[in-house]
Amino acid sequence: MHEFRHVLDNQILIVATAACLIAQFSKVLVHFAQYQKVNVRVLVETGGMPSSHSALVTALATGVGQTVGWDSIEFAMATIFAAIVMYDAAGVRQAAGKQARILNQIVDELFQEGKQFNEDRLKELLGHTPFQVIMGSALGVAVASLANSAT
């Protein structure tokens, strides 16, 4: 248990987690602005504005750069990791969501005449638009920068 306390002293981990949580909670505000309804389910759903994955990894990379140095191997690794996560969020997962939407449409059309289909629909909102990723990234950099200037 003594070692776990040191994990909680890791400023970069705390800042990255905070950026992720801020992004996730801001999805409630964005949803409210769009639909004039509070929907707390967006806190646990994938996708949406802004990308909390992007906020997390960019806050991580920014924190590493600020702490260890912009020319460090650790910053390079965190930046490559961030790029892969953001590419996946906007590319692969977005494409999988489009495929799910098409498959759901096919199933709807095949079984619209009263035939039974007992499988759950596929989740369509899996990834992010490039704009959602950019906004999440900007949030991550901002949170890390504000945390660094506060210390």
pLDDT tens-digit series, residues 3-33: 777 888 899 999 999 999 999 999 999 889 9
Beta strands in the chain (DSSP E): none
DSSP state of 92: I
Least confident of 52-61, 72-81, 127-136: 127-136
Token pair, residue 122, equals 């596929």
State how many domains the chain has: 1
pTM, rounded to two decimals: 0.78
Residue with tokens 């924190």, as numbered in its chain: 63
Question: What CA–CA distance (Å, rounded) separates 43 from 66?
Answer: 29
**Token code pair at residue 106:** 């096919």
Question: Domain limits at 61?
Answer: 2-150
pLDDT in tens, 109-135: 666 666 665 566 555 555 678 899 999
The predicted-structure confidence for 82-115, as pLDDT tens digits, reads as follows 999 998 887 766 666 667 677 767 767 666 666 6
